[in-house]
Structure 1
Amino acid sequence: IDDYHLSSSPHRTVSNGLLFFIHYKDGDNLYYAGVRVDGYAVIKKKINGTYYTLTTKKIFDGEYDRIDNPILLPKEQWIGVKSETTSYSDGSVLIKLFVDKDRSSKWVMVLAVKDDGSKGNSTISGEGYAGIRTDFMDVEFDEFKIKEI
């Protein structure tokens, strides 16, 4: 993160962050996983335009405040974020999120959740697009890859 923009936009909230889109079907049907400005790691899904939080965990220290402390993620320091997704024949989807806080190649799995469709009445299975979302930040990415494992 090179810079963070303290916009007065009502869209600048705790849900902003560095997020990967996974199984992206369209703007209303997708998973995302990443780290938020309030220091939480998150995995969510969006079904028919409604977001469902699958799991979260605080991983960066500090107390978030929209005005006085609007970003707990490190600035001007490389951090690693990666996700793994596994789709199962029963339609369930396993999503894991890993973070390397200081680019030391010491990846830590910070979240894992298996979506069985109990939230939102369905999973997002099958192929989809992948992408990156950042909010109100100037960022640089290095070694962004998508591969089948």
Structure 2
Amino acid sequence: MSEQRLIPKTMSTQHPDNASIPLWCDSDVIEGEKEVYEAYYAYSNLGCQEVMWDSEGKDIDPHVVRKLLTSYPDFFKEKILGRDVFLTYRIPNPMLEKVEKKVFLETLQAIPKHFDVAKQFYGNGEYAPVFEVILPFTSSHRDVVKVFEDIF
């Protein structure tokens, strides 16, 4: 990777409180494949450079990268996931959300699988499609170190 890494200037969160049901949705609950479309919509129609994929307090989709790349291949051939647009997991903080500890691990374990899917899609392993996570309710760098020490 010779060029400098793009720092995203815009981030979309998953289904924030909408004033009305989005035109592409048929109910007030956005779930399943609609969540994948919502991420694509944020990239393609709203011009967001980054989508925060929330794995906190709900069932995560461990195949989101595969679904994005195979459902919208033309877009993602032009906008490389991990270089031009970014997907960042918001993971549960296992220090505060004890019952979500396994979701924390499942989410982290999905990241190498996403790399393999993207490598096959793009024909190289130049860019990791997911390489950062958001650890909520963090007040110090010590929190991140503690999570690492407790888990690993």
* TM-score normalised over the length of structure 2: 0.30
Q: Normalising by structure 1, what TM-score?
A: 0.30
- Greater relative contact order: 1 or 2 (C-alpha under 8 angstroms, separation 6 or more)? 1
Which has a greater percent of strand? 1
